[in-house]
Chain A
Amino acid sequence: MKFDKYEWTAISIMVSLFILVGFIQGWSVSLVILNMCIISAIMTMGVNISWGYAGVINFGVMGFLAMGGLAAVLVSYPPIKEAWQVGGSGLGISFILLIVLVTAVFFITKLVEKKSHKYWLNGLVILFGLIIIRYFFLNATAKIEEVDPALAGFLGGANLPIIFSWVVGGFFAGGVAFVIGKVALGLRSDYLAIVTLGISEIVVSVLKHEEWLSRGVKNVIGLKRPVPYEINLQNSEWFINIVTWFNSSKLNNIIDPEKKQEVLTNLIIDGSGIFVKLNYALLFFIVMIVIYYFANKAQISPWGRMMRAIRDNEVSANAMGKDIVKQHLIIFVIGAAIVGVAGAMLVTLDGLFTPSGYRPLRFTFIIWIMVIVGGSGNNLGAIFGGFVIWFAWIEVAPLTTFLIEVFTSGMDPQNAIRLHLLDSVPYFRYLLMGMVLLLILRYRPKGIIPEKVRHS
C-alpha cells in the first residue's frame, strides 16, 4: 500500500478534519462521525468493486444493507422457543414444499421442449404450488406473530455474538445478489440500474412486512454489542484508573476533594462513551483495512486485469474467451456481499434494526455519490469519498445554520424568510450533495482520487 503525494494530502486533510471537529465539537461527536464514515467507506468499496472494476451498476445498495441488518438480528437475537414450537413445523413444511416447487420448475424448464408450453406449464405449477404453500405458511406465520406481540412475535435468532453477523450478512447479501444477478445481469446498464433499484425496494418491503422474520415495522431493539457497555465500564476499577491517569494533571490542580470526585465522575462518564465509540472505531477500522487490502490485491491480480478488460471493451474481452456473464455475476455478488457486511456493521453500531429506516435516497444514492466523488475504480478513492461525503452530510447542518445567520443578520430576527430558512436547514444537505455530484461529474469525472492507469 504505497500512497503518492496526492493521496497522502487527501488522507491528512481527512485526519485533520476529524481532529478539528474533536477540538471544536468534542471527541464524542468526532468519533460518531468517524464510525459512520468507516461504515460508509466499506459500502462504497462494495459498490466500487462492481462499478469501478467491472462497470456493473448496482443500485440495490439499500436492499443489501437491509439483508446485512437482518443477519445481525438473526445471528445475535436469542431464539424465541415458543414461536418455534407453534410455527416451526408449518414453516418447515412450506419450506420443503418450496424446494419441491423449485425443483419441479427446474425440471419442466429442462424437459419440456416447446417454449410456449414451457411458460404455460411453469405458470400453472407455480400458481398452484404457491396457493398450497400459502396455506401452510400463513397459518404458521399468524401463529408466530401472536406469540407475545409486544415483545417478540417473531422467530428470534441464533443467540451468537453479533460480530459473526458481519460475515453472515455478507453471505445473505451475496445470496440475494446471486438471485438478482441471475435474473437481471443480462440487461443494459440503465435497465439494470432501475431493476436493481426496484428489487432493493422489494427486499426492504419484505423485511418491513414479514413480521415473523424480522419483526417488521415493530423494529428489533436491544441487540447485543461486541464492545463493553458504558455502565459496566463506569464501575470497573481499571477503567477509572485509566481515566484518572489520563487526566492526572487536571485533577491534581483541584484541591477540594469533593469537587475532585465530582470532576472525576464526569470525566469517567464522558470517557466511557468515548471508549465505547473508540472500540467500535477500532473494530470497523480493522474490517475496512482487511477489505481494502484484499480489494487492492484483487484489483492488481490477473483477475482484476480481466475485469478491467471486460469493463473497457466487452466485445474484445469476449473474443478473448472470457465468460462475461459469469464474471459479471461473480463481481456483482462480491460487491453486494461487502455492502452486506457494512449493513450488519451498521445495525451493530445502532444496536437496533428498523426496516422502515431504509430509504433509497439515504442508502443508495448517497453511497453512489460517495463512489463517484471519491473516484470509481480506485479503492482509496472510494474510501475517501465515503469519508468526505459522510463528513459533509453531518457537518453541513451547523455550517448552513451559520451561513444563514450571517446572510440574514441584517434582517429582523422574527423575519418569516429567515425563520423558514432556519427551519429547512436539514434539507440544504441534499442541495449540497446534488451540487457536489454535478460539479464532480462535470469538472472531474474520474473523481477526486482517480483510478490509476496501469500499463502492464
Chain B
Amino acid sequence: MIDFINSIVVLLNFVIIPGLSYGSQLALGALGVTFVYAVLRFANFAHGELMSFGAMITILFTWFFQSQNIGLGLLPTAIIALPFGILATIILGLLSDKFVFKYYRKQKSVPVVLAMVSIGVMFVVNAIIRIVVGTETIKFSDGQKFIMKAKQFKAMTGLNEGLALKSSQVITILITILLLTFTFWFLQKTKTGKSMRAFSDNEDLALLSGINPDRVVFITWLIVGTLACVAGTLYGLDKSYKPIIYLNLVLPVFASAIVGGIGSPFGAVVGGYVIAFSEIMVTYAYKKFFKYLLPESLEPSSLVQLLSTDYKFAVSFTILVIVLLIRPSGIFKGKVL
C-alpha cells in the first residue's frame, strides 16, 4: 500500500503538477489565439510575441516595485506588476489592430494575407522586446519559492518520496481558474459576450441585428491582451523569462488551439492540457514509478522512457498531425465561440 502511495506521489510530483501548470499556461495562450481566430478570423503568429511583450512590461514594473521596496512578502512582486503589463499588452494589441489589422479587415482580405501581416507584427514586436531588454535570460520571481518542500512533505507523511510544490505553480493554477471562470461567465452570461459569440458565428447576421463590430473587436483585444500577458508572465515566472523562448512557445500554443478545435474556447483550454500532459508523459522516465509498483524481480533496468526529452517539442506536433488526420475539426467542433 505504501508503495502504491509512493508511486502516486512520484507521478504527482513529476508529471501531474508540472503538467497542470504548463497546461494552464498553454491553455491561456491558446484561448487568446482562439479569440483572435474566432472573431478576427486569422491565425495570429504574433501571439507569442504579445505574450512575451506582456511579460516584459510586467518585469520592468516588477523591477520598479522592487527598487521602491514595494512587495507582497511571500508572494512574487510580479503579481502587483501584472495589471500594468496587462494594460500595456492591451494597448499594444489595440494599436496593432488600428494601424495594421483593421485595414485588411475592411478590405476583407483572405486569412492567409492576415497571417502574413501578423508575421510582420511579430517581427516588429520581437525587435522592440530585444531592443528594450536584450536576449538574456531574466529571473524575476521573488518571494517564497516553495509552498511545500520535498523534505517537509517527507517529514510530514513519512513517505519515501517527496512532493515539492512551487509557489509559481500554485499561482499559475489559481490565476488560470480565476481567469477561465471569468472568461466563460462573460461569454455565456453577459450581453456583450453573447454579442461576441453571435459575431463569431455569423458576421452578417450579427451586423444586421445591430451589433457594433468595432466594439466587438475592441473587447476581443481586451480579452486577448489580458490572456496573453497573464500567460506570458506565468510562463516566465514558472520557468524563466527568455525573449527567444516565446517564439518556440507559439507552436505548442497553436497546436493546443487546433487540437481542441480552433475557434472553440473550451476546446482551446482542453487542448492546452492535452498537449502539456502528452509532452510531459511521453518524455518522462517512468523507472521510479514502476519501481514502487512492480515486484523487485520485474524492476525495469532501463529508464522506461518513450522518447528522450529532446523530443518534447516534437510530441505536440505529432499529436497535432494525428488529430488533423483523424478529426480535422479538433476534439470539440470549432469555429464558433
Q: Which residues of A contact B (CB under 8 A)?
A: 57, 119, 183-184, 187, 189-191, 193-195, 197-199, 201-202, 205-206, 208-209, 360-361, 365, 368-369, 372, 421, 423-424, 427-435, 437-438, 441-442, 445
With an 8 A cutoff between CB atoms, is B112 at the interface?
yes
With an 8 A cutoff between CB atoms, is B177 at the interface?
no
Q: Which residues of B contact A (CB under 8 A)?
A: 42-43, 100, 103, 110-113, 115-117, 119-128, 130-131, 134, 247-248, 251, 254-255, 258, 308, 310-311, 313-314, 316-318, 320-321, 324-326, 328
B129 to chain A minimum Cβ distance, whole angstroms, is 9
Question: What are the nearest 10 A-B pairs in CB distance?
Answer: A434-B123, A431-B127, A434-B124, A430-B127, A198-B317, A427-B130, A437-B120, A438-B120, A209-B310, A190-B43
Q: How far is the CA of A201 from the CA of B318 in the complex (A)?
A: 11
Q: How far is the CA of A316 from the CA of B39 in the complex (A)?
A: 30
The answer to whether B247 and A361 touch across the interface, beta carbons within 8 angstroms, is yes
The answer to whether B317 and A208 touch across the interface, beta carbons within 8 angstroms, is no
A331 to chain B minimum Cβ distance, whole angstroms, is 16
The answer to whether A427 and B117 touch across the interface, beta carbons within 8 angstroms, is no
B285 to chain A minimum Cβ distance, whole angstroms, is 14
The answer to whether B43 and A193 touch across the interface, beta carbons within 8 angstroms, is yes
A192 to chain B minimum Cβ distance, whole angstroms, is 9
A330 to chain B minimum Cβ distance, whole angstroms, is 21
The answer to whether A189 and B111 touch across the interface, beta carbons within 8 angstroms, is yes
Q: How far is the CA of A435 from the CA of B122 in the complex (A)?
A: 10
A430 to chain B minimum Cβ distance, whole angstroms, is 4
The answer to whether A194 and B43 touch across the interface, beta carbons within 8 angstroms, is yes
| 12 pairs, CB–CB < 8 Å, chain A vs chain B | A189-B110, A194-B251, A198-B251, A201-B251, A202-B313, A202-B317, A205-B310, A361-B123, A428-B131, A437-B120, A438-B121, A441-B117
Q: How far is the CA of A365 from the CA of B120 in the complex (A)?
A: 9
Known contacts A198-B320, A428-B131, A438-B100; A433 and B123 CB within 8 A of each other: yes
Name 20 extra pairs, CB < 8 A, besides A189-B110, A438-B121, A441-B116.
Answer: A57-B112, A184-B321, A184-B324, A187-B328, A189-B112, A190-B115, A193-B115, A198-B255, A198-B316, A201-B313, A205-B310, A208-B310, A360-B247, A365-B122, A423-B134, A424-B130, A424-B131, A424-B134, A434-B124, A435-B124
Q: Which residues of A contact B317 (CB under 8 A)?
A: 195, 198-199, 201-202
The answer to whether A191 and B123 touch across the interface, beta carbons within 8 angstroms, is no
Residue of A nearest to B46 (CB): A434
The answer to whether B43 and A183 touch across the interface, beta carbons within 8 angstroms, is no
A368 to chain B minimum Cβ distance, whole angstroms, is 7
Q: Which residues of B contact A435 (CB under 8 A)?
A: 120, 124
The answer to whether A428 and B112 touch across the interface, beta carbons within 8 angstroms, is no
The answer to whether B251 and A197 touch across the interface, beta carbons within 8 angstroms, is yes
The answer to whether A430 and B130 touch across the interface, beta carbons within 8 angstroms, is yes
Q: Which residues of A contact B313 (CB under 8 A)?
A: 201-202, 205
Pick the most buried of A119, A190, A208: most chain B CB atoms within 10 A of its CB: A190
Q: How far is the CA of A430 from the CA of B26 in the complex (A)?
A: 26
Q: Which residues of A contact B326 (CB under 8 A)?
A: 119
A297 to chain B minimum Cβ distance, whole angstroms, is 27
Q: Which residues of B contact A445 (CB under 8 A)?
A: 113
A109 to chain B minimum Cβ distance, whole angstroms, is 12
Known contacts A57-B112, A193-B115, A208-B310; A183 and B325 CB within 8 A of each other: yes
Q: How far is the CA of A433 from the CA of B100 in the complex (A)?
A: 15
B119 to chain A minimum Cβ distance, whole angstroms, is 6
Residue of B111, B124, B130 touching A438 (CB-CB under 8 A) = B124
Known contacts A191-B258, A193-B43; A434 and B126 CB within 8 A of each other: yes
Q: How far is the CA of A234 from the CA of B123 in the complex (A)?
A: 44
Q: Which residues of B contact A424 (CB under 8 A)?
A: 130-131, 134
The answer to whether B42 and A190 touch across the interface, beta carbons within 8 angstroms, is yes
Q: Which residues of A contact B248 (CB under 8 A)?
A: 201
Residue of A119, A193, A194, A434 touching B127 (CB-CB under 8 A) = A434
Residue of A nearest to B243 (CB): A427
Residue of A183, A360, A368, A431 touching B131 (CB-CB under 8 A) = A431
Q: How far is the CA of A365 from the CA of B49 in the complex (A)?
A: 14
Known contacts A119-B326, A191-B258, A423-B134; A205 and B311 CB within 8 A of each other: yes
Residue of A194, A197, A431, A441 touching B128 (CB-CB under 8 A) = A431
Residue of A nearest to B315 (CB): A202
Residue of B nearest to A57 (CB): B112
Q: How far is the CA of A433 from the CA of B123 in the complex (A)?
A: 7
Q: How far is the CA of A190 from the CA of B127 in the complex (A)?
A: 24
Q: How far is the CA of A119 from the CA of B120 in the complex (A)?
A: 41
Q: Which residues of B contact A428 (CB under 8 A)?
A: 127, 131
Q: Which residues of B contact A429 (CB under 8 A)?
A: 127
Known contacts A209-B310, A360-B247, A434-B126; A190 and B111 CB within 8 A of each other: yes
Residue of B nearest to A187 (CB): B324
Pick the most buried of A57, A435, A441, A442: most chain B CB atoms within 10 A of its CB: A441
Residue of B nearest to A203 (CB): B314
The answer to whether B116 and A431 touch across the interface, beta carbons within 8 angstroms, is no
Q: How far is the CA of A264 from the CA of B43 in the complex (A)?
A: 60
Residue of B120, B123, B130, B131 touching A441 (CB-CB under 8 A) = B120
The answer to whether B126 and A361 touch across the interface, beta carbons within 8 angstroms, is yes
Residue of A nearest to B134 (CB): A424
Q: How far is the CA of A432 from the CA of B48 in the complex (A)?
A: 19
Q: How far is the CA of A184 from the CA of B323 in the complex (A)?
A: 11
Q: How far is the CA of A208 from the CA of B324 in the complex (A)?
A: 26
